[in-house]
Structures are given as structure tokens and as C-alpha cells.
Amino acid sequence: MGVQPLAPAAEEDPVDDDANTPERLREALVDEIAARSALLGRPLAPRVEAALRTVPRHLFLPGRSLERAYADIPVVTRTDSAGLPTSSVSQPAMVATMLDQLRVEPGHRVLELGSGGYNAALLSELVGPAGSVTTVDIDPGVTARARSALDGAGHGRVDVVLADGEFGLPDRAPFDRIVVTVGTWDIPPAWPGQLARGGRIVAPLRLRGLTRSLALEPDGGHLVSRSDEPCGFVPMQGAGESAVLRVPLHGDEVGLLVEDGPAPDAAALADAAASPRVDLRSGVAPGPADPFAGPDLWLATALPGFCLLTATPQAVARGLVRPAWTTGTPALAEDGGFAYLGAPESAGAGSGSSEFVVHAHGRRAGDLAARLAGRMRDWDRDHRSGPGPVLTVHPAGTPDRALPDGFVIDKRHTRVVVTWP
């Protein structure tokens, strides 16, 4: 049920009656995903590519146009009373990425937490007749839809279970692979506890408001991430649900999202938003991967007051804020003021290049802007071209002395350590 980026709910599309066939559209979609993956230096695993070319995605999106079903976008299939997405059929490129991370082999027993149907059908192709796939969801409407679509697509062997994924399925454990297709704030003990020897968990873990798909393997008494990929997912429901604090700066149009840290002074920040803006050039140029895999995680672990600034397109158009990315740009909130990463601007007349600009508001706006810009330069110098961080997940009671060096994020069940080489 992943989304990258999160797509709004949409009305049902009319069914196509044009010359495009599902087979042609599916081939074109997988060609696009495979070409992009190769360009990024991460070619699709042949078995994953074969599964993508086999499973008819449109059967899991009844009432949607074939063009929409075979576009590389997530499609929201269920919303709550406020119109917010609660279930989706994930973006195919993100599905492919997570299946690559999962490394499913024929004969594996796989547990999927979060049911859209499409991903479970792909898993069924990967495990083959000797393996098994069980998909779990807390919403009876979602499980009913998944069951119907899986049967219609010829994947009746997949078990669909109505349950809270926070607790896994102890009566069917152990599993060789566990994949989580909803955004989770924590790794509950049931998941590693239900892994078979040599098992692997792939889960989109929220870290200070950011989400990374982690491929986790047991290592002694903790988990180690073997890969991490930026992503976005609808949030988990049930016992594992955890809300993100939103601090409004300009009503519903601009706000700060705060997670895994102390709540800032909302009234002081709203006052600061009305104060004059301080601008500071960072000296750091943008790159093609920055919107998803750039400095965000580094800043989240280098700035104690890290948060994310979000803004509507209307707020940006009116000049209320000038964020690098409206869906969540890195920000710093402290001492009643805030700074955030702004959109790149020209580095100067005739330079032919651009650089990120930091914007700040509040009594100590200059200091906050300088801190954020300085951390951007640190990332650019030391980590931009590096191997990326190592993430380890330890039980909540682990003492500091037993943790590796790094930035510690304390959660309900675990202590996550992010270490930058």
C-alpha cells in the first residue's frame, strides 16, 4: 500500500475501450521501470522483472482506466472519513524496489502486512508452488477487496487474513520473509520474533518524519539494515498507529511536522512566521536525486530540532514560504524560531549554476539559518557521495553503552541508531 509521493484520492475512472491492451501497457510500464533502475545502477532482479511482466495490475484496480492502472503511480483505493488515504495499490517502481530488497526465493514462506492484493500476487509468483504467501490487513473492506482481486487474477493460493499486523501471525510462524506495505513508526517484537533462521524483514520505517524502506536482518540481539530506500506510505492503523505532530504556521496552508522529538512552542513559531524572513545561501548545489535521497536523513540526524516544513501550492504561489519541496522540506525549529531549506536559486550572474538557499524566521533567525546551511555543507563535503548510513534496530531496554556510535531515535519497542561512516 505504498505511495511515493502520496497521491490524493481520486474518483473512479471510466473503463477504457481504446486499442491499448493490458499486455502492451504492462510491458511498457515494466520497460520504463527496468530502464530507470539500470540508469540508477540498480538493475531489476530478473525474477522480479518477470513477475512484474506477468501479474495483471488492472485486475486489482477495478473501475480504473487501463492507462491509470499501468502508470507508474500509486492509486488510492480507500479513504477515511476525512478523505485521507488509508489503502492504496502501490507505485509499481516502489513495489519493484521493495521486492528487490526482500530477496524472495522459491519455496519461501512470506508474510505481507498491509493488503492491496497486487503485491501479494507478485510474491506468489516469486515463491512458486512450493512456497506460501499470507497477506494481513486490519480493514475488512481491504481484505475483502484483496481476496476478490486475487481470486480473479488466478492467485487463490494466497491466504488473506483479517488481523492487526502489529502482532504478525504467531500461529503461522516462522516466516522466511516479512514485508510491511504500510508506513510504520516502530518495529514491534512480533516481527523479528516470527522470522525463520536467515530471514529478512522489509519495512517502511518512519524516522523523524522521513520514511525509509529498510531491509533488516537479525544480527545477534538486534537488526541491521542491509539497504535503505526513500519512500512514502499510508500510515499503519491499529496498535502500531502513531500520529505526527503538526504545528501550524499559516493556518492549514503551512506547517511543521514534528516526530521523534520534543514538541516546539507552537504559539511562538506562529509569531515567528509573521516576522521578516532572513535568507542565507548554502553554497550547496542541487542534484537530480535530492528530492528523495538527498540531505534529508543526514539533517534529521545532525540537527536535534529537525522537523519538516509542508506547504500547499497556493501558499508557495503567494510567497508565504519558499520551500525546496512542498511535500516536506528539511527544517529546524528551536528557541521560538525556525529555518528551512529553500528552493535553489542562481549562484550569481553568469555562473550558470544554482544553490540551495536557507530561509529563517524569528528572533534568532540568522543563527538558525547558519546552522542549517552549515549542516548542508557538511553533508555535501562528507556524505553526499558516500555509502550512506548504517541503521541498526535494538530492543528498547538496550543501554547507551551497548549501542554503536550514532544518532539514537527512541521509539516504543526499539532504539534505532543511525551511523554515518
How big, in percent rounded to 5, are the helix, strand and coil portions of the chain?
Answer: 30, 30, 40
Joined together, the cell numbers standing for residue 106 give 522459491
Q: Who's near 367: CB < 8 A, 6+ residues apart?
A: none
- CA pair distance 8, 75, nearest whole angstrom: 8
User: Nearest 5 degrees, angle CA 249-CA 306-CA 376?
Assistant: 110
Q: Who's near 416: CB < 8 A, 6+ residues apart?
A: 205, 207, 391, 392, 393, 394, 408, 409
Q: Who's near 200: CB < 8 A, 6+ residues apart?
A: 102, 103, 176, 177, 178, 215, 216, 217, 226
Q: Cell 547507551, residue?
A: 400
Using left for φ > 0, alpha for ψ between -120 and 50, and beta otherwise, residue 402 falls in: alpha
Q: How many CB atoms lie within 10 A of CB 267?
A: 10
**What backbone torsions phi and psi does residue 330 show, to the nearest 5 degrees?**
-55, 140
90 catalytic, yes or no?
yes
Cα–Cα separations (whole angstroms), residue 298 to 290, 334, 338, 380, 392: 12, 18, 18, 10, 15
DSSP-assigned letter for residue 183 = B
Secondary structure E strands in 278-375: 278-281, 306-311, 329-334, 337-346, 354-361
For residues 202 and 254, the answer to whether their CB atoms sit within 8 Å is no
- CA pair distance 225, 219, nearest whole angstrom: 10
Active-site residue, selected from the candidate residues 37, 87, 88, 90: 90
By annotation, the residues acting in catalysis are 90
